[in-house]
Amino acid sequence: MSGGAVPISDFQLVLSVLLILITGAITAALGLGLLKPLLWGTVRTFVQLGLIGYVLTYIFTINNLFLIIAIITVMCVIASSTAAGRTPDAGRHSVLLGFVSLWVSTFLVGAIVVGLIIAPEPWYSARIAIPIFGMILGNSMNGIALSLDRLFSEVGAKIPEVEALLSFGATPWEAVRDCVRVALRAGMTPAINSLMVVGLVSLPGMMTGQILGGADPHLAVRYQIVVMLMITAAVAIGCLLLVMMSYKKMFTGEDAIDPSLFGGVQAKKQAGN
C-alpha cells in the first residue's frame, strides 16, 4: 500500500450535493419531470450507502462464515426477482429457477476465486468474499436476465417453426435448441465483449476504486483480471443453468407449447381459423 486513500470529510461530502444541483437545474429548465425521482434517488443513495457502510463494518468485524452465506443468499433472492421481473412472460417459477441458477453459479465461481485464487486468511474473509460475490451476482444477474428474456422472445417469435419441429417428432429440447443457442449468446456476449475493451474504453469500477484507495495499480490490475474472468464464468454457468431449466417450463406434459405462456401469439394463430 502506498499512501492509502485521501479521506472525504463530512463537509466535502456535502459539497458533492453541488453536482445534484447541476442535474436538477437541467431537469427543471427543460421540464423533464425528473426532479422528484432525482431528489428521491439522491436521498436513497445517501441512506442506503450510509447504512451499508455500517453493515459492512459489522460483517467484517464478526467475519462469520454462515452470516456471509446468509447475506449472499439474500442478495441472490433480490437479484433473481429483479432478473425474472424483466420477463413477465416467463411466469412465477422463473424467480425460483433464477434463484437456483444464480446461487449455484455464484457460489461455484466465488468459491474458486476466494478459496483457490485469492486465498485470504481465513479463506472466507468477509472483506474479500462480500465484494467478490457481490460483483459476480450483479453481473450474472444481467446475464441471466438477458438470456431469459431472449429465450422467451425467440421462442415466441418462432412458434410456427417450433411446432413444425414438434410435428416432425422433435423432443421439446430439439424443438427449441436453436432458440436456446441464441438466448445463451445474448446472455454471454456482453461479458465477453467487455473482455475485449477493458482498459481501452473503460476503466472498471473495481480497479479505479482500488487505485483511489491507494493500491498499487499493478495489484489493482491483477485483481481486475481475476474479476473479469470470474464474471465471464459466472455469467456462462448462470445462463446455462437458467435456460436449461426454463425451456422445459415452456412445454406441457404432452410436449406441446404451453398455451398460457404465449397467449397473444396463440390467439393470433387462432384468428386464421
Partner 1 sequence: MKEVLKIELLRFAVRYHLGQTSRRLSVSSLLEDGTVLVIKGPSGSGKSTLLRILARLQSCDSGQVFFRDAGWHTFSPPVWRRKVHYVAQKPAVFSGTVAENLKKPYSLKGQKTLFQPDAAQAGMERLLLSREMMEQEARTLSGGEAARMALLRSVLLNPAVLLLDEPTAALDDRSRRAVHAYLAEWLAGETERGIVIVSHDGDLSAFPQVKQLETGLDGEVER
Among 156, 141, 137, smallest CA distance to 83 is for 141
User: Counting Cβ atoms within 10 Å, is residue 230 exposed (0-12), middle (13-18) or buried (19+)?
Assistant: buried
Distance of CA 264 to CAs 147, 150, 270, Å? 21, 17, 10
C-alpha cell read off for 139: 453481473
Among 15, 28, 65, 164, binds partner 1 (CB under 8 A): 164
CB-nearer residue toward partner 1: 159 or 229: 159
179 binds partner 1 per the rule CB under 8 A = no
Residues in contact with partner 1, shown as a per-residue x/- string from 96 to 135 under the rule CB under 8 A = ----------------------------------------
The interface region with partner 1, picked from 9-17, 92-100, 182-190, 250-258 by CB under 8 A, is 250-258
CB-nearer residue toward partner 1: 33 or 169: 169
The interface region with partner 1, picked from 77-85, 179-187, 215-223, 261-269 by CB under 8 A, is 261-269
157 binds partner 1 per the rule CB under 8 A = no
The interface region with partner 1, picked from 20-28, 197-205, 210-218, 251-259 by CB under 8 A, is 251-259
Taking the C-alpha atoms of residue 240 and residue 227, their distance in angstroms, rounded to an integer, is: 20
Q: Do 102 and 238 form a contact (C-beta atoms < 8 A)?
A: yes
Handedness of CA 218, 222, 228, 229 (dihedral sign): positive
252 binds partner 1 per the rule CB under 8 A = yes
